[in-house]
Amino acid sequence: MIVTFVHVWVKPDNINDFILASTENHQSSIEEAGNLRFDLLQDANDPAKFVIYEAYESDAAAAAHKETAHYNKWRATVADWMAKPRIGEKHIIIAPTEKSQW
């Protein structure tokens, strides 16, 4: 299982639009083969800071996400709304170890 935390800083005037576009991307992402979770989180102390939690069964499934039409639409739509470049941090799950617990 591969997990990526994508940290996103959005310009204040674009927060609501970012949420709408990212929610649309979320809806399509959770339907992808190999997707286990795709969560959009907003920082409780900084409404312009978001984290996208992406969990995929494999590197191949995570890479396939970046080839989808909905991801490419999201990326193009939100590009000008970024206050600074987003940062993706890849993680490997240590526990739980059983696929049935994912």
CATH of the domain at 16: 3.30.70.100
Which DSSP helix (H) or strand (E) runs through 31?
A: none
How far apart CA 39 and CA 3 sit, in angstroms, is 11
Residue 79 lies in a domain: yes
Confidence bin at 99 (pLDDT 50/70/90):
low
Q: Are 1 and 36 in contact (CB under 8 A)?
A: yes
Q: With a threshold of 0.85, does the pTM exceed it?
A: yes
* Domain carrying residue 49: 2-93
Domain count for the chain, please give it.
Answer: 1
CA–CA–CA angle 2, 4, 49 (5° rounding): 165
Sole residue written with tokens 């989808």: 68
- Decide if 101 is inside a domain: no
Does 41 fall in a domain? yes
What is the pLDDT at residue 93?
Answer: 83
Say if residue 28 is exposed, middle or buried (CB neighbours under 10 Å; 0-12, 13-18, 19+): middle
